[in-house]
Amino acid sequence: MRSLPKLRPGDKVAILSPSFAAPGRWPYIYELGLRRLRERFGLEPVSYPATAKLGASKEERSRDLIDAFQNPEIKAVISSLGGDDQVTYVKDLPDAPFANNPKPYFGYSDNTHFMNHLWLNGIPSFYGGALFTEFAQTPQIDPMTERCLSLALFGRGEIRLPCSERFNDEGISWDDPDNFTREKSFEPNPGWQWDGAAIGANGVTWGGCLESLDEILRHGVKMPSLTQFDEIVLMTETSEEIPGHEYVRRVYRALGERGILARIRAVLVGRPKAWEFDKPQTLEEKQEYRKRQRDTIVETVRQYNPDIPIVQNVDFGHTNPQICMPYGAQVRIDSGSKTITATF
């Protein structure tokens, strides 16, 4: 994997919508995110033609990605949000524009597809830090999220990952601008959930949103080779679709039947989102949902690999606060001290 340059105050960063053009739906959230980039991080955002274009074609979004990476003035690329259709075109992107112009990319969820494409070209990225959900967080950016964003943008070195004391799981509608000042509700965080070998492990991160990994598997999209999986720490997390534990079992079983789970060094699992506007759950229902997913992942991985460390409930993915997780970077998992160190 390449070592990418870090940003400096005043640098230009591209804001793109490789999936859903959220800026076209919620322009006031978009403006808040742009303002935060300027005022809190000292960066100059640059929008591209399809960034706010609802219904932009695959060709338009592909062109934005290529142009942003080929533009030498752009020092990083930040996705506006996720979506659900990158599988339809990212596999057809050329390699050269990205391999010849490596730079940091920030995104998660459906952006798993593009980050896999970058990984295959030796380009690390950051799983997290979407403009709408992190930079434009209301009523303010969570302090832990902001520290992790700053670290990903400007920091370098091996960093011990934090574990939040509390987390938010219930969203506030973007359809009402009055919600800008509304405080979110939080739950106490029980901490990371550990299973497996006491000796720990290290390797290079790869993975992403489990629903997107499912599509990569079922559509035969290029992914790391089995030999490469010998060096990989698998990262997964589930989205606001809140898939049931049996679905999670099937995707993990597919990874096992492909020979992947037998080879990987470890598994890191982001805290699963357990509430959405169309799936409101009580506190007890959310806790049970998370426990079922945790148990299912352990049970399924152990059918294919009895020893590797499995660490769950980590603050990455569809959660708040959020670690902007290095993707395609070295991580070290120490089961004895119960710590995770990642290279930024």
CA dihedral 276, 169, 321, 138 (to 10 degrees): 70
Per-residue model confidence (pLDDT) at position 200: 87
C-beta atoms surrounding 220 within 10 Å: 8
From the list 319, 95, 330, the residue with the least C-alpha distance to 186 is 319
Kindly report the CATH number that applies to the domain delimited by 12-136.
3.40.50.10740
Per-residue model confidence (pLDDT) at position 199: 82
Q: Beta strand 74-79 with 105-107: parallel, antiparallel or unpaired?
A: parallel
Name the token pair of 195: 């299973």
Report how far residue 263's alpha carbon sits from residue 229's, in angstroms, rounded to the nearest whole number.
6
E-strand stretches of the chain: 12-16, 44-47, 74-79, 105-107, 125-127, 158-160, 166-167, 187-188, 193-195, 201-209, 232-237, 266-270, 310-314, 325-327, 330-334, 339-343
Per-residue model confidence (pLDDT) at position 121: 98
User: Where along the chain do the CATH 3.40.50.10740 domains lie?
Assistant: 12-136
* Burial per residue of 58-92, b for 16 or more beta-carbon CB atoms within 10 angstroms, e otherwise: beebbebbbebbebeebbbbbbbbbbeebbebbee
Per-residue model confidence (pLDDT) at position 197: 76
For the question of whether the overall pTM of this predicted structure is more than 0.85, the answer is yes
DSSP letter string, 162-176: P--SEEB-----TT-
Angle at 36 between CA 11 and CA 57, to 5 degrees: 75
User: Where along the chain do the CATH 3.50.30.60 domains lie?
Assistant: 160-343
pLDDT per 10-residue tile (average), the chain, 344 residues? 96 98 97 98 98 98 98 98 98 98 98 98 98 97 98 97 97 90 94 90 98 97 98 98 98 98 98 96 97 98 97 98 98 96 98
Q: What is the pLDDT of residues 134-173, one digit of tens each?
A: 999 999 999 999 999 999 999 999 999 999 999 999 999 9
Q: Domain 160-343, CATH 3.50.30.60 — does that match?
A: yes
Per-residue model confidence (pLDDT) at position 296: 98
